[in-house]
Structure 1
């Protein structure tokens, strides 16, 4: 029997080829301005490729791929550079984003980040009321007995984020759970988030992500 191959590498290879073709097609065109910005048509071409996973306007449907609409531009820019430099190496980063970001220039990264930051965020999805209430307590108060600070101290009162600190409100619950587990295990290296997520048990991760997904 012929083994079934995952479609993910095939889709990524095709998408990378499309990115390369887009960059080649626009390479002879000057920047839109004298400030080093990427040409708008180039940004839109790459965003079109991104939409195959992240949805139109960054409104992702699959929890494998984070919602980008309304995300902080500084955070998106930092993550795209980390994918490009291979300094973010969690499993999905390696599988999907290393190849996708390989040919992105700094001006193009900035243009993509700006585009998604200006899109309307996806509204939150209601979750179990009990879990949401438990998650809200962690978000607002932290877990002082385990030196886990209140999430809102960095991510904002409405989980909207700021600059390089991501927006969490309305994100896929499953995606948030995966990232907390990645931080806890150091699969995704971040000293602050490792310290804050490692003490959380599965029930607390479930609660905090239920609250955030509903915002």
Structure 2
């Protein structure tokens, strides 16, 4: 097993750079949608990109796991299926595949986001072992998703409202954070360590 792992690590030594880039694109698309910047009709146009990004993030997660970066592997191999399933849920809802009434559709979205957001909240609590910047990124993402969960369970008709718009802007903020993260890696690969990500709050005992 060590030889294939070493070969993959030699080709893609730090897949998290690609993973965070994909996360940034996904967060920006969803943020534009929920913030009301992109027209409602654009949501379906984002679905193919969300499917491809989700698949690519799964590949990044698998590579990270093979390389021994289990936290990176867990994050991206889980967030990838989240995007894929969200895109499929939205695609099916738009075309009536799931045979749901409008009120039922909102509750299904709420339950869907609730299950995934619980997992992300656990990751937030465990992020004390990651660089501080990554923990802050997870915090912003968690707040945005919890706002969307509340919105889907309380909105009577799914019309855009303040909760949804705030969540959208928080997702855009998470995308900006993702850009910083990617820039930090890019400069570090060039030998310039000028954009710190912060040290973990908790480190292993010596």
TM-score (norm 2): 0.31
Q: Which has the higher relative contact order, 1 or 2, with Cα contacts under 8 A spaced 6 or more apart? A: 2
More helix by share: 2
TM-score (norm 1): 0.30
